[in-house]
Structure 1
Amino acid sequence: MLDEIDRALIHALQLDGRAPYSRVGEVLGVSTQTVARRFNRLRAEAGLRVIGLPDPQRAGRALWLVRLTATPHVAQDLAAALARRPDTSWIKFTAGGTEIVSIVNSTPTDGSALLLNDLPRTTGITSVSAQYLLHMYVGGPTAWRGRAKSLTPAQAAAFIATPTDRGPSKPLGDGDAKLLTALGEDGRATHADLAVRTGWSTATVARRLDELHQAGAIYFDVDVDPTALGYTTSAMLWLSVPPAHLDAVGRALAEHDELGFVAATTGRTNLVTQALCASPDALHTYLTERVGAIEHITAIETVPVLRTVKAAAPFSPSLVGLRT
């Protein structure tokens, strides 16, 4: 379990993933060395990572929510193989360990290769369902509220940049690929490190990074083991909502601290969420008292998450099995 300083550090990084340790320490009232030591410990023990990601719409990416089942003897290897791909994220084992849920990025250049070519040719897969992610209410640039409750309003304000009117930015292009790859591995990489990775000067890196961030073309997310925050029980909730009420229900659910992900999708179930609770009993209470109080949800399927193989950051074998 984390203490108040750990939780405040995670909250600060959620607001400004590249905030210098010195500024974090000043706001939290601790030394720069304490912040650096806490960050390194959380990285080692709780999988804390800051990652820079492109906004899917600006990057021309379509996001698919893929739900597949596989025979028991191939499920583990299949999940590991999916995790190593650069076009996948949030790979989870659910149900009895033979169901895998994943988000797949599709671009005009790859032509949905994973969905159209690779998965159909894979032996051991018994069913596949793929639906468009139409709109994310929680997830992506909109952070999970459950890990952003530790700072006071005054402290939080110190990490929220004031938008500046810089005019339209140059859109994401092929020249940004190396920058995005580096930020996806470490969103806190220094300008010098990014210059080495991109072949640009440090001044060019700083200018382009600032331009993309200010324009909302990229955002910084925090990846951390939810169990370290006290959330030991997780489940995917597949909801059916009449289209006329879908947005209202999605917005209502987005206000729930228990949900780390809320998105509208195509398909028979058109709203999917991930619940993160302290215990099975807490999940039961959440479902019956909070979700059950929302009108217009006509059906719900609750599927336990057994293990997260890959989160938003690139695959790291040392983190497999860490998160629930």
Structure 2
Amino acid sequence: MHGSAASVGPAAADTPSRGTLDELDLALVNALQMAPRAPWAQLARPLGVDAATLSRRWARLRASGEAWITCHAAPSQVAHGALALIEVSCVPQAREALADRLARHPQAMSVELVAGSCDLLLTVATATKSSMTAYVLALGRDEAVTATRTHLVQHLYQDGSEWRMDSLSRDQRRDLAEAEDSAARTAAAILAPEDRALMFALAQDGRRSIASIAAELDRPESTVRRLLHSLLHGGRAVLRVDTAHVHSGWRSSATIWMSVPPAQLVSAGDELSRLRSTRMAASVSSEANLLSVVWLHTLDDLARYEAQAAARITSVRVLNRAVNLRWIKRMGRLLADDGRSTGFVPIDLWAPVA
């Protein structure tokens, strides 16, 4: 049920493509990254516009597919299951069809067409390590797949839900700090069935009202409000605000595999997390023991990023790169060529492997 694609209506005929997000759009996205479910009235004063304007802006951004809020399992849940980046090589003429097929998998959080040593790059999450094994084996049986290489994530130093735009002033960020929905990152509790039901109810629209969630789950609003607070502030799930990257000025991205001496792994991961372009930093179990996913304004910025990393981590060696050609799916969202959301496949770590 959770693995079926759902349309989110971004390509409506009466919603023209606007090319790029303006300053207020970017400020609104930045504010929602800090406080995804804050009332519009609470965001109005620091952004300098009225609540009705913010509500209309967000409705337009969602309808056009240029911005959205997703709810998904928190990084703390990785310790209970498995997270991996999987390089996939395939028959050239089957690449696009294979990517579209894999994007329908609920375990595939993201699917990219890439340039480098493989054709596709998948980010896959499962509730157990045995399920990850089953997924990798099933992937290898696909007739279009010629080779796979799996990089199991050992520790996340940063993930995309923690990345912030820099569209707000220091004063605006300070004013918004009280509204920020900060969730603990060290929670040990496994998502309970009622947590999962609430997370799936919020998955497509992280600002969905308590009333509509309560109606869907047939629970009292007071109970849903309490469970939601526990889910988010207990660090078991996170709300992630995303945009069509091309429209927000980040026109390129890449995954970089690196190697550092084991004794320097933690400090190296922390250093990568401090770099502005780092969306994700993690230690992995392969020839490379460290990787970062970076967003770039232009592809030329990749060399500058690697130079910054080398300046901060003198022992680092870059072993491989996968440069994004096109996102097929990113954190459950099916994307158009320009990065706009065109549909949604909820991420389901517990779905059986087909």
Same fold per superposition (TM over 0.5): yes
* 1:86 match: 106
One-letter amino acid of the counterpart of residue 139, structure 2? L
* 2:304 match: 285
Task: Tell me, yes or no, if structure 1 residue 200 matches structure 2 residue 216.
Answer: no
Q: Distance in 2 between matches of 1:42 and 1:301?
A: 36
Task: Tell me, yes or no, if structure 1 residue 68 matches structure 2 residue 88.
Answer: yes
Task: Tell me, yes or no, if structure 1 residue 10 matches structure 2 residue 29.
Answer: yes
Matched-pair contact (CA < 8 Å) for 1:71–1:98: no
SS at 2:247 equivalent: helix
* 1:48 match: 67
Q: Distance in 1 between matches of 2:134 and 2:337?
A: 24
**Is the alpha carbon distance of 1:275 and 1:209 closer, same or farther for their aligned partners in structure 2, counting shifts above 3 Å?**
same
* 2:14 match: none
* 1:228 match: 247
Task: Tell me, yes or no, if structure 1 residue 210 matches structure 2 residue 210.
Answer: no
Number of residue pairs the alignment of both structures matches: 315
One-letter amino acid of the counterpart of residue 272, structure 2? L
* 1:125 match: 145
Q: Distance in 2 between matches of 1:279 and 1:170?
A: 40
**Is the alpha carbon distance of 1:246 and 1:302 closer, same or farther for their aligned partners in structure 2, counting shifts above 3 Å?**
same
How far 1:57 moved relative to its partner?
Answer: 3.3
How far 1:151 moved relative to its partner?
Answer: 4.1
Q: Distance in 1 between matches of 2:217 and 2:81?
A: 22
Which of 15, 24, 38 is equivalent to 1:19?
38
* 2:319 match: 300
Q: Distance in 2 between matches of 1:113 and 1:320?
A: 30
Matched-pair contact (CA < 8 Å) for 2:254–2:324: yes
Deviations 1:116-156 (A, max 9, x none): 44212100211111121111122155x124x1452424233
Deviations 1:79-99 (A, max 9, x none): 111111211112111116961
Deviations 1:184-241 (A, max 9, x none): 1111111111113222121111110011222112211112122222121222211111
* 1:271 match: 290
Q: Distance in 2 between matches of 1:138 and 1:259?
A: 8
Q: Distance in 2 between matches of 1:109 and 1:286?
A: 33
SS at 2:140 equivalent: coil
| Range that drifts further, 126-135 or 1-10 | 1-10
**Is the alpha carbon distance of 1:179 and 1:236 closer, same or farther for their aligned partners in structure 2, counting shifts above 3 Å?**
same
Q: Distance in 1 between matches of 2:183 and 2:200?
A: 25
Root-mean-square deviation (CA, aligned residues, Å) is: 2.6
**Is the alpha carbon distance of 1:244 and 1:54 closer, same or farther for their aligned partners in structure 2, counting shifts above 3 Å?**
same
Task: Tell me, yes or no, if structure 1 residue 139 matches structure 2 residue 159.
Answer: yes
Q: TM-score, normalised by structure 1?
A: 0.88
Which of 339, 343, 348 is equivalent to 1:323?
339
**Runs of 4+ residues deviating >4 angstroms:** 161-164, 168-171
**Is the alpha carbon distance of 1:113 and 1:211 closer, same or farther for their aligned partners in structure 2, counting shifts above 3 Å?**
same
Q: List alignment gaps of at least 5 residues for structure 2.
A: 1-19, 341-354
**Is the alpha carbon distance of 1:174 and 1:222 closer, same or farther for their aligned partners in structure 2, counting shifts above 3 Å?**
same
How far 1:321 moved relative to its partner?
Answer: 2.5
Q: TM-score, normalised by structure 2?
A: 0.81
Using the aligned pairs only, state the percent identity.
28
SS at 2:37 equivalent: coil
SS at 1:185 equivalent: coil
Deviations 1:11-67 (A, max 9, x none): 111111111222112321101121112212322445311111222434733211111
How far 1:266 moved relative to its partner?
Answer: 0.7
* 2:16 match: none
